[in-house]
Amino acid sequence: MRTQVAIIGSGPSGLLLGQLLTEAGIDNVILDRVGKDYILGRVRAGVLEEGTVWLMDKAKSGARLHAEGLPHDGFSLAFDGRDHRIDLHGLTGGKRVMIYGQTELTRDLMAHREQSGGLTIYDAANVCPHEFEGAAPYITYEKEGIAHRIDCDFIAGCDGFHGVSRKSVPAKAIRCFEKIYPFGWLGLLADAPPVNHELIYANHPRGFALCSMRSMTRSRYYIQCPLDEKVENWSDDRFWDELRRRLPAHHAEALLTAPSFEKSIAPLRSFVTEPMRFGRLFLVGDAAHIVPPTGAKGLNLAASDVHYLFSGLAEHYQDHSNAGLDAYSAHALARVWKAVRFSWWMTTMIHRFPDTGDFDQKIQEAELDYLTHSRAASTALAENYVGLPF
């Protein structure tokens, strides 16, 4: 088989890139080691920047997002038992974010790809990129015990942090930067109305908490927990009680509960690899970088990578220029590091660290007070939260 662009990974970044390429008339094939149902069963982030929404529209896959998504003009920082609203819309000249589950976004992209006749190969075993430093890269894989090969012009590695794409790069050609945080997020998903019409980020002596949502009838809640905590130690009742303790009293009283249907613990890390291009192999999204979920940047950073790579590929095939591809890594990393900085800053500002002393705690309190009482500081937060321009 031959194609122009072979994409490893059928998560949101791989599907979005594939659909943009298809709409531009550029042939592409997507491979994934797992099946469609497994991919749609993963629960992920749901805060979309305007740039991500724009890319979904460009890929002709945004209709349901606009019909069912929840536009948010702000969010609350809760500390000292009170809410402090960050007016995203007012502080950024009219920008906002959209609440729409990543699973639903993935479902929309899958459906549109099937309608447009794009090829996705699921359950592809032993996927491996080859010869990407030269002019004739290819991918090998196995399907139902039969070996296959796909020759291509370029390979896009959209297969996540644990995928094969980054692992295939020679160690001497890549540099990794990483910070591991000393806590995780215990998350719960339940079919209950959200406690507030906008997100709440809570800083409390017992630890951080986040009140989020997937719709007006489905809520997503998180509480900070030790890295060695076990999900099985947390009944629903224990989770709800702990969440109430960390929220301002009026939110705790208004909280409606329901049985959880998903509960998990996610460790937090910041991770970046440089560069993001190796010959004709391009790393995209979590294959190249991970951020703590605090700033809602993971999915949106993957989308911005897709924007830069798609622009470069379109320029290559339509204008016969490699300028965009040559600049891909530099352009993507410039935005990545700004988002990594923002996510790190948000994480340090609203979590309680186990080694925090009295001085550090006073600094955190002063930071929160300044942030919520200075328009300039609030504007910087708002600009980063809604997303820096591509």
- The catalytic residue among 204, 251, 289, 297 is 297
- The catalytic residue among 100, 141, 201, 221 is 201
* Average pLDDT, integer, range 26-42: 89
What's the token pair of residue 74?
Answer: 């702000």
CA-nearest of 185, 249, 187, 194 to 221 is 187
- The catalytic residue among 141, 221, 317, 385 is 385
Residue 42, pLDDT above cutoff 80: no
What's the token pair of residue 361?
Answer: 């705690």
pLDDT in tens, 164-215: 999 999 999 999 999 999 999 999 999 999 999 999 999 999 999 999 998 8
In angstroms, how far is CA 4 from the centroid of its own chain?
Answer: 27
pLDDT in tens, 234-282: 999 999 999 999 999 999 999 999 999 999 999 999 999 999 999 999 9
What's the token pair of residue 176?
Answer: 């990794």
* Cβ proximity of 91 and 379 under 8 Å: yes
In angstroms, how far is CA 125 from the centroid of its own chain?
Answer: 25
* Average pLDDT, integer, range 149-166: 97
Domains of the chain: 5-72+97-177+269-347 (3.50.50.60), 181-268+353-386 (3.30.9.10)
Q: Which residue has the tokens 């924007």?
A: 307
Burial class (CB within 10 angstroms; exposed 0-12, middle 13-18, buried 19+) of 256: exposed
Residue 43, pLDDT above cutoff 70: no
H-run or E-run covering 102:
helix 102-115
User: 12-23 vs 102-115: helix axis angle to the nearest 10?
Assistant: 30
CA–CA dist 362, 319 (Å, integer): 56
- The catalytic residue among 72, 112, 316, 331 is 72
pLDDT of residue 39: 84
Residue 222 among the catalytic residues: no
pLDDT in tens, 269-305: 999 999 999 999 999 999 999 999 999 999 999 999 9
Amino acid letter for position 6 = A
Residue 141 among the catalytic residues: no
Q: How confident is the model at residue 45 (pLDDT cuts 50, 70, 90)?
A: low
How many other C-beta atoms are found inside a 10 Å radius of the C-beta of residue 10? 27
Residue 38 among the catalytic residues: no
For the chain, how far is it from start to end, CA to CA, in angstroms? 34
Residue 201 among the catalytic residues: yes
pLDDT of residue 46: 85
- List, in sequence order, every residue forming a beta bridge with 265; answer none if it has no partner: 186
Pairing of strands 281-283, 154-157: parallel
Percent of the chain with pLDDT over 70: 99
Q: How confident is the model at residue 36 (pLDDT cuts 50, 70, 90)?
A: confident
pLDDT of residue 288: 98
Residue 143 among the catalytic residues: no
pLDDT of residue 41: 78
> In this structure, what DSSP letter does residue 231 have?
G
* Cβ proximity of 49 and 387 under 8 Å: yes
* Cβ proximity of 78 and 123 under 8 Å: no
* Cβ proximity of 310 and 154 under 8 Å: no
CA–CA dist 232, 234 (Å, integer): 5
pLDDT in tens, 77-91: 999 999 999 999 999
What rounded mean pLDDT belongs to the chain?
A: 96
CA–CA dist 260, 219 (Å, integer): 10
Longest dimension (CA), the chain: 63
* 198: CB partners within 8 A, 6+ apart: 72, 73, 74, 75, 76, 85
- The catalytic residue among 194, 248, 293, 328 is 293
* Cβ proximity of 333 and 283 under 8 Å: no
* 121: CB partners within 8 A, 6+ apart: 29, 30, 31, 32, 141, 143
If DSSP codes are grouped into helix, strand and coil, which group holds residue 95?
coil
pLDDT in tens, 351-371: 999 988 999 999 999 999 999
pTM of the model: 0.95
20, 44, 79, 268 from 337: Cα distances, Å: 25, 22, 28, 17
